[in-house]
A and B are shown apart, each in its own frame.
Chain A
Amino acid sequence: MELNELSIKLASFETEGVSFESFLIANEGEQDVLQVIVDGNDELPIFVTQTEEQLLCISYLFAEDEVQADMRNELNETLLRLNVPIPLSAFAKIDDKYAIFGALSVNSSFDDITHELVTLADNAIDALEAVTIYLND
């Protein structure tokens, strides 16, 4: 599914009691990115990128400099340990930002994609809540 098609479908769709807002980030000639806001939580947008094989859904959680310096190792260790139990999503680091993401096959159905988006949005909030103890005040 093309990202603009996904955007149109998301606009008129509601699942698991949740609605979506989305818009395409213009990126002339380069990788297209669709910004998706689940359930009005525009603080934690999900960025959807399509590659040849995968649909990557990424949500940025916090920047490296927000982490209490002496707790960085513990945080990294915790995130690694949480990677398996957390449903459908995994933690990652992109440049200096910590992120949570899910990767889907490009052949995924619309239902699969919305389920992924809803789960990722929930996971992002839960994850942020769980790691605040490691962040600067």
Chain B
Amino acid sequence: MSILKKLFTAVRGGAREAGQAIVDANGIRIFEQEIADAQNALQRAKKSLTEVMAKEMQTKRKISALDASIAEHEAYAGQALEKGNEALALEIAEKIGDFEAEKAENEEVLAGFSNHIVQLKQQVKEAEKSIKENQRQLTMVKTTESVQQATMAVNSTLNTNSSSMTSARESLERIKQRQQDRQDQLGAAKQLEADTNGDDLKAKMAEAGIGDTSPKSADILARIKAKQNS
């Protein structure tokens, strides 16, 4: 059964006493050990994979060297035949036979290595997947545990703190009141600043056309026109 399903069942049951672990500590330790074992197995699989891959490369190199030798000796045999030296050609042909036998052997070995590599890669992939999955599940269990422990700690603090006994509605009202107070304070501070700077009075006077009123463009234009006409 997956951990999530276990958690789901436990939560649904609801009969759990506060702080009772969903998965016992021993279960977690076993789970952690399983993950550690899988990680070791993975390391070993990866190491043998690199070893086998190295051997595969060596064997491939050997086969191409043998191919080169075969081609080379076939040319020699041809030259021997051209020179009418059938006996030498036969000797060379025997040598080619040896090379071909060796190549066949190596090809067999190579096939073995290649198969082994496919298998190991599959194993590594599966191990990685299973480790990741187990870690994810373990995280879920541990988080649940942590939240339980944290909740207990929080509850013991809240119970000694009288403000926690208030209802959510009251809490909200207090917060809203505080926000309103702050806004009022801010508004009052702005008002005070405006008063001190005399901004407010100046604005009122300007509106009434008293004091330093800025000349209106219409007035300026009228003044220019008056000058032209004189």
B2 at the interface (CB under 8 A from A): no
A79 to B: closest C-beta gap in Å? 14
What residues on A are CB-neighbors of B150 within 8 Å? 27, 31, 33, 47, 49, 56, 58
Secondary structure at chain A's binding surface: helix, strand, loop or mixed?
A: mixed
A130 to B: closest C-beta gap in Å? 10
Are B171 and A43 in contact (CB-based, < 8 A)?
yes
Chain B 167-179 interface 0/1 with A at a Cβ cutoff of 8 Å (1 = within)? 1111110111010
Interchain CA distance A41-B171 in the complex, whole Å: 9
Interface size class on chain B is 20 to 34
Are B168 and A62 in contact (CB-based, < 8 A)?
yes
Chain A 25-64 interface 0/1 with B at a Cβ cutoff of 8 Å (1 = within)? 1010011010100001111100101011110101011110
What residues on B are CB-neighbors of A86 within 8 Å? none
Are B153 and A31 in contact (CB-based, < 8 A)?
yes
What residues on B are CB-neighbors of A52 within 8 Å? 139, 142
Interface residues of B in 137-185 (CB under 8 A from A): 139, 142-143, 146-147, 149-154, 157-158, 163, 166-172, 174-176, 178
Q: Which residue of A lies closest to B167 (CB)?
A: A66
What residues on B are CB-neighbors of A25 within 8 Å? 153-154, 157
What residues on B are CB-neighbors of A136 within 8 Å? 167, 169
Are A43 and B163 in contact (CB-based, < 8 A)?
yes
Given A43-B163, A51-B143, A56-B143, also A33-B175 (CB < 8 A): no
Given A33-B154, A62-B168, also A53-B178 (CB < 8 A): no
A129 at the interface (CB under 8 A from B): yes
Q: Which residue of A lies closest to B168 (CB)?
A: A62
B134 to A: closest C-beta gap in Å? 14
Are A53 and B139 in contact (CB-based, < 8 A)?
yes
B210 at the interface (CB under 8 A from A): no
Contact of A56 among B147, B152, B171 (CB under 8 A): B147
Interchain CA distance A128-B171 in the complex, whole Å: 9
A4 at the interface (CB under 8 A from B): no
Interface residues of A in 48-91 (CB under 8 A from B): 49, 51-54, 56, 58, 60-63, 66
Interchain CA distance A41-B181 in the complex, whole Å: 13
A87 to B: closest C-beta gap in Å? 19
What residues on A are CB-neighbors of B174 within 8 Å? 43
Are A43 and B166 in contact (CB-based, < 8 A)?
yes
B18 at the interface (CB under 8 A from A): yes
Report which B residues bind A (CB closer than 8 A). 18, 139, 142-143, 146-147, 149-154, 157-158, 163, 166-172, 174-176, 178
Report which A residues bind B (CB closer than 8 A). 25, 27, 30-31, 33, 35, 40-44, 47, 49, 51-54, 56, 58, 60-63, 66, 94-95, 125, 128-129, 132, 135-137
Offer 23 A-B interface pairs, CB within 8 angstroms, sorted by A. A25-B153, A30-B149, A31-B146, A31-B149, A31-B150, A35-B154, A41-B175, A41-B178, A42-B163, A43-B166, A43-B171, A43-B172, A47-B150, A47-B154, A49-B150, A51-B143, A56-B143, A56-B150, A63-B168, A66-B169, A95-B151, A132-B169, A135-B169
User: What 3 A-B pairs are tightest by C-beta distance, nearest first?
Assistant: A62-B168, A43-B171, A31-B149
Known: A47-B150, A56-B150. 18 other contacts (CB 8 A): A31-B150, A42-B163, A43-B163, A43-B170, A43-B171, A43-B172, A43-B175, A44-B171, A49-B146, A49-B150, A51-B139, A51-B142, A51-B146, A58-B147, A58-B150, A66-B168, A129-B172, A137-B169
